[in-house]
Chains A and B, each alone.
Chain A
Amino acid sequence: MSRTTTDRDRNRTVHDDGTQPWLGFGEVRTCLIQNLGTLSPSASVALMQLTPGSPVSKVDRPVRRVVSPEQVTGVDCRLQVAREGRGRAIGTVLSHAVVTNGRILQGTAYVALSEATSKERREWRHYLRHQGVVEVLGSPKPHNIVDGYLADVSPPARGLDLASISDRIIDEVQQSDTLNHTTALRASTAVVRWAATLAKDAKPTVGIAKSDLPNLHVIRLSGAPDDLPMLIRFCEEFALHEWLLTTVQDVIVPRAETDIARDRDPLDSLLFALNELVPLWMPPTHLSPDMKALWEAMESRTHYSRLFERQVARIRDLRDQVKIRPPRRF
């Protein structure tokens, strides 16, 4: 199983007929691209061309971010509802892959939930006109749907299986013939599962919980329906930064310390971290005032940037130690 993460903010989640979604669900996976070197810009674009003839989106600054065209998966399944109530979701889930700086791969699946426009399943083209929306038949309470979805983490999923969808898109990318399928670093895949409650005039809020399962974070968000694209992007950016911090703190630093203690050379992974991972730390505050406010509010609680700086300083210290007293075994 490979894991991935994604990001993107060009989906339209509002129905033409004005029905607004009242929930948004998603799952983001983040991992290293299985390739020894950094992918060039053109190689990143080619890798993200998952649908022929659909444009790949590319932004060069502040970090190079290449996003695949949206993939569409049809669903018609019962919702996993906590406590009481039943619901059936019919429509399509969107997913896409993102490559950041030719190094990090993310796979994202997301969907907006809105009220059903009829009591029966409608013709398929109706659902294709509102891509990324599932209509909910039945009337379970939104907070029960959210709790049910966020708790439905052990495979096989009993409700909407966004985990498999985001996983598949990662697999599809990682299996590409253009990659050499080796990585400079053994790091795991991190998963962020999120649910947003949407209501007119609601102010954006974020609540992050680190799960007791390894590499899993659960995020509850709220906002207005129009905020959904921003919330999706927020979760993708959070997933990327969370993965960077975890990788540096739990993989790079402890391994280097162990290597030094055993007189082995840790320099390769320290330099990989400094040259390849540290430049990726770029909070998305430039995207919009709302994103800036949301991200900074999150920072003021978690101090992620400060934690990351501390880890980076630690890596530099270790590098300097190795330079002063080289290990005996090269």
Chain B
Amino acid sequence: MTAVDVSYDEMTQTAKVDAVPLGHLSVETGHLYLDDFAEGDRKIARQLEQAAPWLEAAGKRIRKRFGRNARISTCFLVDDYTPSGSALDQPKPSEVVDIVTTAADQAGFRIDYLAREAGCAVACERPYSGPRDQSALADIVAGLIVEEAAVGANGSRPPTAQTGWLSNGERSPAVAVAMDAPDWEPPEEFGKYRHSVFVDIELWSLDNNQTHAERQYSCSLLSAVWQLLRLGLLRNAGKAVAKPYRFGPNEAFPDLWSQLPSITQLTADAAPFAAYQALSVLPPHFRAAEHAAEIIIDHLRFDGAVLKQTADRARDETNPVTLPDNPVGRMSHLFFDDVHVTHND
């Protein structure tokens, strides 16, 4: 009797991981609230004008390293997640797109992608999307958080991330606020260098007015989602999420922000939205949320297949790119100051 080699596999056993197009650099040229457009283009013009020289410098550097054909894309994030004054006064997506495009022209560059923050909480693949083409990205990222083990943690106690908070260290034990509380101990950053910079991040809050409270995600967590999208590291059960959508020439923008896709491609021949490196050029008040986003990303367990796929792609480029092991090492920020030069027109 001879042995016959038979193999039997079921496709549902392991998920395939989609690849996403990747450029060399993604530059976030700004991040504004819908209310900021109430005064027309004043705020965005200032923001883009501040960003322009840094964008140019970053582009030069990338082209020097990876050649003239290096793929660089620009994006802009609009915050439609934070509840604003009144939905009636909100500018329509088409109006904002016009304002953004014009302001970018004046600043001397183009904005390739317009993203919306609520589309980071729940990704919408196309206009007027329903539950079937949506992915709860904030839920997915929150579910990937692995809390840092405190010294002595042996698995007996459930993790506290379920409380909606993540810290980079050991919290100070809860003590009654009393003058004579002798057992107060300071919080401590894990792996600190001499002194701690202890950060405690609120990931979400619950709207307590309703029986089925919906999570209201924090800017910190949504920034983490946004950065991961730009680095091309998010998947839903192996599938790519929030693919940029380009409206056809005769296709009108929806009237409501919630009907817009997560990411809208504004220019015809844009480089890929996601990239090996992500630079954010932002005003200083985003510093805390961006720092929190980095801490969150440092506490995520990534799908090894996604990381490997990205690293392999980078290595196979004509001019090979060596990516660091940790995704945070692919992000950079530039926070400009609040000093403005006033023009005497």
Residues of chain A having any CB pair with chain B under 8 Å? 10, 12, 51-55, 57-61, 72-77, 90, 92-93, 109, 121-125, 128-129, 131, 156-157, 159-162, 164-165, 168, 286
Give the interface SS of chain A, mostly helix, strand, loop or mixed. mixed
Instruction: State the Cβ distance, B310 to closest chain A Cβ, in Å.
Output: 14
Contact partner of A54 (CB less than 8 A), chosen from B135, B143, B149, is B143
The complex places the Cα of A72 from the Cα of B190 at a distance, in Å, of 19
Contact across chains for A72 and B154 when beta carbons are under 8 A apart: no
Within 8 A of A (CB), among B133-159: 135-137, 139-140, 143-144, 146-159
Give the interface SS of chain B, mostly helix, strand, loop or mixed. loop
Which of B140, B144, B155, B325 gathers the greatest number of chain A CB atoms within 10 Å? Answer: B155
Contact partner of A74 (CB less than 8 A), chosen from B140, B146, B236, B325, is B146
Given known A59-B12, A59-B13, A76-B149, contact A124–B155 (CB-CB < 8 A):
no
The complex places the Cα of A156 from the Cα of B153 at a distance, in Å, of 13
A93 proximity list for chain B (CB < 8 A): 155
B182 beta carbon closer than 8 Å to chain A: no
Within 8 A of A (CB), among B147-198: 147-159, 190-191
The complex places the Cα of A51 from the Cα of B140 at a distance, in Å, of 7
Which residue in chain B gives the minimum CB-CB distance to A111?
B155
The complex places the Cα of A164 from the Cα of B302 at a distance, in Å, of 24
Contact partner of B238 (CB less than 8 A), chosen from A55, A59, A61, is A55
Contact partner of A57 (CB less than 8 A), chosen from B14, B154, B303, is B14
B304 beta carbon closer than 8 Å to chain A: yes
Contact partner of B298 (CB less than 8 A), chosen from A125, A131, A157, A164, is A125
Contact across chains for B147 and A74 when beta carbons are under 8 A apart: yes
The complex places the Cα of A129 from the Cα of B14 at a distance, in Å, of 20
Contact across chains for A168 and B158 when beta carbons are under 8 A apart: yes
Which of A73, A92, A129, A131 gathers the greatest number of chain B CB atoms within 10 Å? Answer: A73
Q: How many residues of B contact A (CB 8 A)?
A: 43
The complex places the Cα of A150 from the Cα of B149 at a distance, in Å, of 23
Contact across chains for A54 and B14 when beta carbons are under 8 A apart: no
The complex places the Cα of A51 from the Cα of B149 at a distance, in Å, of 20
Instruction: State the Cβ distance, B135 to closest chain A Cβ, in Å.
Output: 7
B299 beta carbon closer than 8 Å to chain A: yes
B154 proximity list for chain A (CB < 8 A): 75, 77, 157, 159-161
The complex places the Cα of A109 from the Cα of B154 at a distance, in Å, of 13
The 8 A-B residue pairs whose C-beta atoms are closest, nearest first, are: A53-B140, A55-B15, A74-B149, A77-B154, A161-B155, A76-B149, A58-B12, A161-B156
A-B contacts, 20 listed (Cβ < 8 Å):
A52-B140, A52-B143, A54-B143, A54-B237, A58-B10, A59-B12, A60-B10, A72-B301, A73-B146, A74-B148, A75-B153, A76-B149, A77-B152, A93-B155, A109-B155, A124-B148, A159-B154, A161-B155, A168-B158, A286-B8
The complex places the Cα of A59 from the Cα of B10 at a distance, in Å, of 6
Contact across chains for A129 and B143 when beta carbons are under 8 A apart: no
B300 proximity list for chain A (CB < 8 A): 128
A160 proximity list for chain B (CB < 8 A): 154-155
B230 beta carbon closer than 8 Å to chain A: no
A52 proximity list for chain B (CB < 8 A): 136, 139-140, 143
B235 beta carbon closer than 8 Å to chain A: yes
Instruction: State the Cβ distance, B145 to closest chain A Cβ, in Å.
Output: 9
The complex places the Cα of A271 from the Cα of B131 at a distance, in Å, of 42
Contact across chains for A164 and B155 when beta carbons are under 8 A apart: yes
Instruction: State the Cβ distance, A132 to closest chain B Cβ, in Å.
Output: 10
A61 proximity list for chain B (CB < 8 A): 8, 10
